[in-house]
């Protein structure tokens, strides 16, 4: 029965995609997630069960509610925003269509209890999350304003700035540093963990360890990271704290107040990643373009292996030179 219902949803969605194109389809997909919440509680589905304001809106439809449902199946998925939570002119007819297709199966579904309907709702919602929403997130890649005529530091700053506008600076900074270390030390196994995985949780000295040096990457320097740096020093590690350039002076003063100024190197992420990229490229323009692409490709590969959120991926400009790879 699960397979049949998933096919019902897939066929319905394809017909709506054909009718609406991509412009409003994600709002309709969100409406399906919400309708299937009502399917868990009651069946058959009556208009008054899932609509409000005289049948003109999907009851309870919002970006936040859709995000909560998505995260049941994809923990850590990004917010889908308010646009997907608005009832557009095509949403109500589309959701009525889906409800009608489900109601057409009353002979088979009518005798099921809430537990069985919940299991079927899970299967249908999972399909919506793993298909239209997966496609949606893939299209939401970061698109920083890269310019290879500018310095490497400028380009890394543009990536962090684009991430900051979407509240993704933390994971982007971590994976940029990881990609840089992977390129710089190709013979070493550079750790690659999801951003939400805490150092202490895995008993790691830092976000990355290379030889005797522990690296901590943060966009919000705090007393907590200073405590971890102090622990590194006590254990005999050389310690590097990487923060955005705009936070470097504040982090340096924090280290000084903690008595760590001579023991912890506080560096800007932009310069740490960018300058090393220049050195790998031998300070040549064409090779720099090639190695910037290599950095972004390495970053994307590491994100795909460590994260569930494809919106953390960076869109690589098609005209960025490939060079000799």
User: What is the spatial distance between Cα 276 and Cα 4, in angstroms, rounded to a whole number?
Assistant: 54
Count of the separate structural domains present in the chain: 2
Is position 320 within any domain? no
Q: Are residues 48 and 167 in the same domain?
A: no
Burial 135-145 (b: 16+ CB within 10 A, else e): bbbeebebebe
- Which of helix, strand or coil describes residue 215? strand
| pLDDT of 218 strictly over 90 | yes
Domain around 222: 152-312
| pLDDT of 323 strictly over 60 | no
Contact in structure between 312 and 299 (CB atoms under 8 Å):
no
Is position 322 within any domain? no
Q: Are residues 133 and 22 in the same domain?
A: yes
Q: Are residues 244 and 203 in the same domain?
A: yes
Name the residue with tokens 């397979």.
3
| pLDDT of 199 strictly over 60 | no
DSSP structure class, residue 87:
-
Q: Provide Rg for the chain, Cα atoms.
A: 24
Contact in structure between 173 and 217 (CB atoms under 8 Å):
yes
Between 278 and 262, the more confident residue is 262
Pairing verdict, β 51-52 and 57-58? antiparallel
Q: Are residues 157 and 202 in the same domain?
A: yes
Q: Is the dihedral of CA 130, 135, 140, 146 positive or negative?
A: positive
**Vertex 226 angle, CA 223 and 227, to 5°:** 90
75 Cβ neighbours under 8 A, 6+ residues apart: 308
Q: What mean pLDDT do residues 154-159 have?
A: 95
| pLDDT of 324 strictly over 50 | no
pLDDT winner (highest mean) among 56-65, 134-143, 282-291? 56-65
Q: Are residues 178 and 267 in the same domain?
A: yes
Contact in structure between 307 and 170 (CB atoms under 8 Å):
no
Q: Are residues 134 and 243 in the same domain?
A: no
Q: Cα 100 from chain centroid?
A: 34
Mean pLDDT value across the chain: 89
- Token pair, residue 198, equals 């805490």
Q: What percent of the chain has pLDDT over 90?
A: 66
pLDDT tier, 285 (very low <50, low <70, confident <90, very high otherwise): confident
| pLDDT of 234 strictly over 60 | yes
Residue 84: what pLDDT? 66
Pairing verdict, β 238-243 and 264-268? parallel
**Vertex 201 angle, CA 200 and 203, to 5°:** 55
Is position 147 within any domain? no
Q: What mean pLDDT do residues 224-245 have?
A: 95
Q: What mean pLDDT do residues 211-235 have?
A: 94
Q: What mean pLDDT do residues 158-166 have?
A: 92
Is position 318 within any domain? no
- Could you tell me which of 298, 67, 96, 27 has the C-alpha nearest to residue 180? 298
- Token pair, residue 102, equals 């489900």
- Residue 203: count other Cβ atoms within 10 Å of its Cβ: 6
Q: What mean pLDDT do residues 210-223 have?
A: 94
| pLDDT of 204 strictly over 50 | yes
């Amino acid at each position: 029965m699960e397979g049949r219902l998933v096919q019902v949803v897939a066929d319905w969605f394809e017909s709506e995609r054909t009718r609406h194109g991509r412009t409003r389809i994600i709002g309709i997909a969100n409406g399906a997630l919400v309708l299937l919440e009502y399917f868990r509680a009651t069946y058959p589905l009556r208009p008054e069960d899932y609509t409000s304001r005289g049948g003109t809106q999907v009851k309870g439809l919002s970006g936040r509610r859709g995000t909560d449902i998505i995260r049941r199946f994809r923990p850590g998925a990004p917010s889908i925003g308010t646009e997907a939570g608005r009832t557009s002119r095509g949403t109500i007819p589309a959701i009525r269509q889906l409800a009608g297709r489900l109601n057409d199966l009353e002979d088979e579904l009518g005798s099921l209890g809430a537990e069985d309907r919940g299991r079927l709702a899970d299967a249908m919602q999972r399909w919506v999350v793993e298909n239209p929403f997966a496609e949606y997130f893939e299209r939401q890649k970061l698109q920083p304003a890269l310019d290879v005529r500018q310095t490497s530091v400028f380009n890394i700053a543009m990536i962090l700035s684009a991430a900051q506008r979407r509240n993704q600076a933390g994971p982007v900074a971590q994976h940029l540093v990881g990609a840089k270390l992977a390129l710089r030390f190709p013979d070493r196994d550079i750790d690659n963990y999801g951003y939400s995985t805490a150092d202490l949780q895995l008993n790691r000295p830092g976000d990355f360890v290379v030889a005797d040096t522990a690296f901590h990457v943060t966009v919000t320097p705090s007393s907590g990271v200073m405590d971890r740096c102090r622990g590194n020093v006590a254990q005999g590690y050389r310690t590097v704290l990487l923060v955005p350039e705009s936070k470097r002076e504040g982090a340096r003063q924090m280290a000084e107040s903690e008595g760590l100024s001579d023991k912890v190197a506080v560096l800007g992420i932009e310069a740490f990643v960018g300058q090393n990229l220049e050195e790998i490229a031998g300070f040549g323009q064409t090779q720099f373009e090639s190695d910037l692409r290599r950095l972004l490709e390495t970053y994307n590969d590491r994100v795909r292996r460590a994260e569930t959120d494809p919106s953390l991926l960076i869109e690589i400009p098609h005209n960025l030179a490939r060079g000799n790879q």
